[in-house]
Structure 1
Amino acid sequence: MKWNVYLSGEIHTDWREQIIEGCRVADLPVEFTSAVTNHDASDAAGDLLGEESSNFWRDHKSSKVNAIRTKNLIERCDIAVVRFGDKYKQWNAAFDAGHLAALGKPYITLHGADIIHPLKEVDAAAMAWAQTPQQVVEILSYVISAK
């Protein structure tokens, strides 16, 4: 079986690449999917529907166009990793975690100890909390290969 792992959250560090590389080195049968990680492209996703005079409506349209992708990828995943970074608030990641929980999809949160309190509900619904991408790889390796 090839596992479909959805990578959600923070886009300003290389955590995705670390997990992907770690799984490649471990020779795990994994396919990775993710939301659009190019910030400018994501913000402009709704622009093809016409120009808006208000940033609210531009963001509104873009979020809906982006949701077509994220909704489908989340529904198809076997497991997800939801990353909360240090520098920015990832409201989209929290929303993805709620979506995953509502669907009964297992997910791993990835964040530092300094934000345990604000993420207590998100972590409570998670199957695991990791602090490093390497811990995520180790969890995936165990789950996939039982080793």
Structure 2
Amino acid sequence: MELVVYLAGQIHDDWRGELRQKARKRGLPIIFKGPQEDHDRSDDIGEKIKGEQPNPVYRDQTASEFNNLRTRVWMEKADVVIALFGEKYRQWNTAMDAAIALQSGKPLILVRPEGLVHPLKELAQRAQVVVETPDQALDALAYIFE
């Protein structure tokens, strides 16, 4: 059995790449999917497909259409969603993805540092597992295969 795991969350470091590498080293049968990690590609995709937009607002809206399509397709195929919240940036997309996962009935592993316990308390109560690090999330996935 392989698990498809959608990696929602902050884009300001390489936590996804590190998690993929650690899962491979452990021999875990996991396929990781997630948002477009190339920020420029994500921002430019609307104009690449639909052509130049009249202003930055339309450019963002057009890109969002295709990024939302990508997210929805991969989240629907996911067996589990990991949503990682970091302390440094506002995490609107992470919150939206976590809400979609819960609404869709997908098991959710919430990764949040101690400093975000209070602001994420309601979301934490709905997640199947709440951890503080991506390594702990990977341990939770590994436990599924025992």
> Normalised by the shorter chain, which TM-score bucket?
over 0.9
Moved over 6 A (4+): none
Alignment partners' CA distance in 2, 1:88 and 1:47: 26
- Where do 5+ consecutive residues of structure 2 fail to align? none
Separation (CA, whole Å) in 1 of partners of 2:45 and 2:123:
27
- Equivalent in the alignment of 2:74: 73
Match of 2:112 in 1: 111
- Partner of 1:44 in structure 2? 44
Equivalent residues of 1:8, 1:82 under 8 A apart: yes
Size of the alignment, in residue pairs?
145
Deviation digits for residues 13-33 of structure 1 (CA, Å, limit 9, x no counterpart) = 121122212211221111111
Letter paired with 1:38: D
Which deviates more, 9-18 or 103-112?
9-18
**Structure 2 residue 63 is matched with structure 1 residue 62:** yes
Structure 1 position 53, deviation (Å): 3.0
How much identity, in percent, do the aligned residues show?
37
Deviates more, 1:47-56 or 1:76-85: 47-56
Structure 1 residue 52, shift from structure 2 partner: 2.4
Tell me how far apart the structure 2 counterparts of residues 21 and 64 of structure 1 sit (CA, whole Å). 30
Which one-letter code corresponds to 1:87 in the other structure?
K
Which moves more between the two structures, 100-109 or 12-21?
12-21
Q: TM-score, normalised by structure 1?
A: 0.92
Question: For residue 126 of structure 1, what is the amino acid of its counterpart?
Answer: A
| 1:40 positional shift | 1.3
| Distance in 1 (alpha carbons) for counterparts of 2:134 and 2:18 | 6
* Aligned equivalent of 1:19: 19
Provide the TM-score with structure 2 as the length reference: 0.93
Q: What code does the residue aligned with 2:11 have?
A: I
Aligned to 1:3: 3
Deviation of 1:67 after TM superposition, in Å, equals: 1.1
Partner of 2:28: 28
Q: Distance in 2 between matches of 1:53 and 1:116?
A: 42
Q: Does the 8 A contact of 1:18 with 1:134 survive in 2?
A: no
Helix, strand or coil for the counterpart of 1:46? helix
Specify the code of the residue in structure 1 equivalent to 2:81.
A
Give 1:68 shift.
1.2
Provide the residue aligned with 2:139 in structure 1. Answer: 138
CA distance in 1, matches of 2:56, 2:87: 26
Superposition RMSD in Å = 1.2
Matched position secondary structure for 1:134:
helix
